[in-house]
Amino acid sequence: MFEIVTDHNPTKKDIDIIEENLSEYNRKHTGFSQPKKHAIYVKKDGEIAGGIVFVCMEPWAYIKLLWVSDDLRGKGYGAKLLDAAETQARSLGSTKMMLDTFSFQAPMFYLKQSYRVISHIDGYPGEGMSRTWFMKAL
């Protein structure tokens, strides 16, 4: 008999089972396998001070993470990372880039980089905050 079990501290192995099986299900329906992650970093003295992580599934690329340390903010490193990811994604066959961000992160930054809003939710992840999805033709 099957049972529903709640786990407030799942192991990586348990999460991997769900991700791998969902990826296999998706592959059967789309022909796409689990997309490979790509990363580009800003380093100082060998230590990561910023970076961007993205995946490509032609024709789309999706930015999963973009972060720069506080001391690098406003100095153009975010734009350089984004530009490098767009260039790399284009070289891998992507023609569109998508991402999401919270209102307390960098929505205006993406607008300045020629991204356009494709969806928006108010009140998430909490009152007075929002989440916005952006896309850009590469």
pLDDT at res. 110: 97
In a domain, 22, yes or no: no
In a domain, 12, yes or no: no
Transcribe the chain into DSSP letters.
-------SS--HHHHHHHHHHHHHHHHHHHS--PPPEEEEEEEETTEEEEEEEEEEETTEEEEEEEEE-GGGTTTTHHHHHHHHHHHHHHHTT--EEEEEEETTS-HHHHHHTT-EEEEEEET-SSTT-EEEEEEEE-
In a domain, 7, yes or no: no
What's the CATH number where 56 sits?
3.40.630.30
pLDDT at res. 84: 98
Ranges in the chain, pLDDT < 50:
none
pLDDT at res. 92: 93
In a domain, 61, yes or no: yes
Which pTM does this prediction carry? 0.83
In a domain, 21, yes or no: no
In a domain, 84, yes or no: yes
pLDDT at res. 19: 87
In a domain, 24, yes or no: no
Domain span at residue 132 reads 35-137
Q: What is the pLDDT of residues 95-134, one digit of tens each?
A: 999 999 999 999 999 999 999 999 999 999 999 999 999 9
Number of domains comprising the chain: 1
